[in-house]
Structure 1
């Protein structure tokens, strides 16, 4: 029951309807008592009934805007010939007409306003302007025509505000989704790489121990320990970024091509022969620097996990306008780990193309696999 009443009576409708009722009734009663009357009305009782209908109908202006406007218009047109008291009956019609236009029913409001204007002018011309003067007739008609225009402006503003809210909500949802993808990519590239190295090292050590129980694994354990420390540092950095602003967060330096030597050393410790070549030197945009490092890191991870390669060549070319990286292996396996693009290649492509760069990966004709990416030095805004 409460839901039905709330859909019929909105708080503002109750306020507006009550104020209109008080003004119309009190004004009309004062005029009646002071004998401030125009020409003799045709039916005073009918006039009072039409006034009551108009007052009550206005309370439903938001629930039934078109029906209320038509009912009040009909009651107003009947009231003035029937009553000898020229009260502010027109106020309810003006309010309902404005409401109709403000709720987006501009065509209906315009047709009703134009029809009302024609009725007022024609009726006063026929009556030889017995009720109001010519200037007052034109002024009243002008106000009636202007009401839908005012309502249209309000309707446009409401639509704009609603569309802005939707756009902001959509932008927020998109931002959250993009941030989730970014975090997932960071976890996959950084932590996944270190865990892959640890897995390769421990698996190799276990195989050697099975063959030779006297095998000393100190070197392997040192590499595993160092790789674990690097993984923990990267995890702490990511957790620090996710903390609230102002909190102490050990974010540390971000990934950079300057860290390639240690990355290559870890891959070599896993038994892979890695050649690193860097041509050129320049100050790189932070985002491009980090993306290039992650691409090389993920490419090496894929080689260790899937390629069954013995040699890998990592080449970095830093030009004046472009940064390019390439990772080429001599493996016989599928360096992308699956027939379709997995998270690794997808993440690398996103890192390249997301900064206006290019990405290409695929098997070579003479065997092995190549991953290539390039970025412009100026990151698009």
Structure 2
């Protein structure tokens, strides 16, 4: 066993302090001939005192053994020695340590046994060493020591559980933040890259068929889309770099930006119909989530659905916001199924704010995505 596991710094300090007090006090009383009743065996008294003093240095490594050793030494010392010194202190400290380290049952049993021995022995001796009140006071203190240790043990346990809970909450918060950032990157940058991919792929097909095809219009759309992508990337990086939550982060995405989103999809060849009914001030989180759901739905249509027509409808009521995106495609508009992508990401955005989400094939063909949020976001 390593030295550090046997002797803790506080044990060394407490043990040394106890040794100085007990030995010096006893020596002074011995020299001044301040004696109680005649002891049975003075040499034995000094021996058990030394054992008790040394044992206390190991109180944290072997709490029960040290408590029993100091208890036995104390029981032997007072009948054996005529010097009524502070020999009891080592046992009291050991008993407290036993209870503070969670061994409350053992500490209570030893304290109860000590209480009985102290009271019965003084009654038999007709209170030759202490008065009735002093005996009861000493016995009461011995019983109170485990109770004090139990309070300390409870506090330590509570503190340890609190630290574990805080660490778990921090770990969960970091994981949720990573998922949120990944979702933002996927929805924002992924959408723009999908538009760029669709535009460039279509332009390449036309160039293969007609080498004289002019690509200025396509390149202009690609340039505008990439500029939007860079803008959103810079905004995200700026938010991540902010030192405080109160720092301005600029306007985030919202339904007010739907016209430009629809225009970009139209530039990719889709016939997009946008309809917005109602108007009200929306919670920022709900506004952003609704925009991202529409954005991701259009991205999935462009990448997977092989659709020619898309309907985007937004209904803003007094207590609910609903969005729906329906296409006439024949492909798989579900998008990626990996966590954080496609339908999974959209469902998280809806249900994370207390809303609902549904997606699936339409009876008359195509695919539909529907989401709704309460306008009062749950805390």
TM-score calculated relative to the size of structure 2? 0.97
**2:143 paired residue number:** 145
Name stretches of at least 5 consecutive residues in structure 2 with no aligned partner.
Answer: none
Match of 1:111 in 2: 109
CA offsets per residue over residues 136-180 of structure 1, 9 Å max, x none?
100000000000111111111111111111111111111111110
Q: What is the match of residue 365 of structure 2?
A: 367
Output one character per residue of 1:86-137: Cα deviation in whole Å (capped at 9) or x when no partner: 1101100110000011111111111110110001011111111111111110
1:312 is displaced (CA, Å) by: 0.5
Aligned 8 A contact 1:336 1:342 in 2: no
The answer on whether the counterparts of 2:272 and 2:309 sit within 8 Å (CA) in structure 1 is yes
Deviation per residue, 1:274-300 (Å, 9 max, x gap)? 000000000000000000000000000
Give 2:270's aligned residue. 272
Deviation of the 1:339 alpha carbon: 7.2
CA distance in 2 between counterparts of 1:251 and 1:289 reads: 16
Q: Which residue is equivalent to 2:211? A: 213
Q: Is the Cα–Cα contact under 8 Å of residues 236 and 250 in structure 1 kept in the other structure?
A: no
Q: Which segment is superposed worse, 277-286 or 209-218?
A: 209-218
Distance 1:340 1:259 in 2: 27
Q: 1:246 to 1:122 in 2, by over 3 A?
A: closer
Maintained 8 Å contact 1:237/1:250: no
Contact map agreement 1:313 1:329 (CA 8 A) in 2: yes
Query: Is 2:337–2:343's contact at 8 Å kept on the other side of the alignment?
Result: no
Does 1:24 pair with 2:18? no
Partner of 1:99: 97
Give the drift of 1:217. 1.0
Which residue, 155, 178, 181 being the options, matches 1:180?
178
Structure 1: where are the runs of 5+ without partners? none
Structure-1 separation of matches of 2:264 and 2:305: 17
What's the CA shift for 1:338?
A: 5.6
**2:123 corresponds to which residue?**
125
Task: State the alpha-carbon separation in 2 of the partners of residues 340 and 71 from structure 1.
Answer: 64
Structure 1 residues 339, 135: closer, same or farther in 2, change over 3 A? closer
* Counterpart-to-counterpart distance in 1, 2:275 and 2:167: 47
1:315 maps to 313
What is residue 326 of structure 1 aligned with on the other side? 324
Tell me the TM-score normalised to structure 1 length: 0.97
Whole-Å Cα distance in 1 between the matches of residues 248 and 200 of structure 2? 29
Which deviations, in whole Å up to 9, do the C-alpha atoms of 1:1-44 show, x marking residues without a partner? xx711100001000000010000011111111111111111111
Distance 2:345 2:62 in 1: 54
Equivalent runs, 1:1-381 vs 2, <5 Å: 4-245=2-243, 251-337=249-335, 343-381=341-379
**Equivalents in 2 of 1:58, 1:133: separation in Å?**
29
Instruction: Give the secondary-structure state (helix, strand or coil) at the position aligned to 2:234.
Output: helix
